[in-house]
Amino acid sequence: MNLKSLERKVVAGISIAMGIICLAVLLTLLNMNSIRSGARGMTEQQIPSLEITNGIQSEYQSLTIAVRNYVANPDDESYSKAKQILVRLNRLIDGAQYKIDGEIQWEQFSTQLEIAKQNIYKYEAFLDENQNIIDVLTAEDQNLKDVKESYFETLGKYFDRVLIGRRAEALRFAKDLYLRGFEVVELKQQAVNTMDPIKIEEGINILESISSDIDEALSKMADSAEIELFYNVRTTALEYKDSMAKMRLSWSKLESIESQREELETQLFFIMDQTGTVALNAARVNAENSTMAAGKTYIYLLTVLLFAVACGIGLYLYMRKGILVPINEMTEVAGR
């Protein structure tokens, strides 16, 4: 009687255990889509590499256009716009690096982001250097205007003085200085409009000849008032020449850093291409890891399910077909 009771308890226990196992397997299988979706969602939440890369590439394209516009028209607005894009790019890359910090599968992508960031620093240095040169050119342009006014004002005083004395030779010399001064002003304007350093060079040569002619005239003058006036004309001519020389030097620097900008653009496109490739590879590896994890879960659940089915078949055969040896008979055999 006790053996039969024990037998029923064993059968009941096995049945309950199988029921629990089958229920767990069923619930898990019903939620496998959620598990797989969760794995994909975690991948995207952990590091949306493609979204980040697309964002960086979009900002880089905006930066390229903004820098070109600034170089073509270097005003405060275009400079500020380019700097704002640089700030956004820095923040975007910093945010991406923060998300993937410590994640081995994203290490190469993080390295690529750091390379992109170094390119941004170079762009920022280029903009600052370009703006410094523009500031120098602006200052020299204003100085040229001031010196030009001083040159013609001083020469006008001398012209009035010799005109009163009706000194023909002095008048011709003053007129020649006037004409050459106007020629320099015209050359300077042409140079600014066309960014032609040859025009600047021609203007500098004329100013040097003016200075040389004034030196020769000073050696023949006896009137202290005229000497002072001519000395002032010579001084302003030399100042004009120095300002034009600084302008020529600044233009040379602009040409030099323009090639630097072109090199930065080439590097930029290469970096963006590499970043996109690395991002795709990193996303693929992460997706493969998630798929492998889901596959292992499937295998585990399938094993449990097969075990439960086997137990069920065994129990069915035991209860209905009598193929298995009853527990009491096994006990009697063991007792003998």
Tens digit of each residue's pLDDT (9 = 90 or more) over 274-288:
766 666 666 665 555
- Shared domain check, 269 and 121: yes
- Shared domain check, 212 and 130: yes
Query: Which amino acid, residue 201?
Result: E
Is pLDDT above 50 for 256? yes
- Shared domain check, 324 and 237: no
Is pLDDT above 60 for 251? yes
- Shared domain check, 100 and 24: no
- Shared domain check, 186 and 329: no
Find all residues with CB under 8 Å of 286, minimum gap 6, and list them.
43, 46, 47, 105, 106
Counting every residue written for the chain, the total comes to: 336
Q: Which domain covers residue 184, as residue numbers?
A: 39-290
- Shared domain check, 310 and 261: no
- Shared domain check, 177 and 94: yes
4-38 pLDDT, tens per residue? 555 555 555 565 556 566 656 555 655 554 444 44
CA-angle at 127, arms to 110 and 203, nearest 5°: 155
Per-residue model confidence (pLDDT) at position 248: 84
- Shared domain check, 209 and 64: yes
Calculate the dihedral angle through the C-alpha atoms of 207, 212, 215, 221, rounding to the nearest 10 degrees: -90
- Shared domain check, 240 and 318: no
Are 247 and 200 within 8 A, CB to CB? yes
- Shared domain check, 122 and 6: no
Calculate the dihedral angle through the C-alpha atoms of 210, 215, 220, 223, rounding to the nearest 10 degrees: 90
- Shared domain check, 185 and 73: yes
42-96 pLDDT, tens per residue? 444 444 556 677 777 788 788 888 888 888 888 888 888 888 888 888 888 887 7
Are 240 and 184 within 8 A, CB to CB? yes
Is pLDDT above 80 for 232? yes
Q: Report in angstroms the alpha-carbon separations of 147 from 11, 153, 178, 217.
A: 112, 10, 14, 21
Angle between helices 32-46 and 2-30 (to 10 degrees): 40
Per-residue model confidence (pLDDT) at position 23: 55
CATH number, domain with residue 223: 1.20.58.920
- Shared domain check, 149 and 266: yes
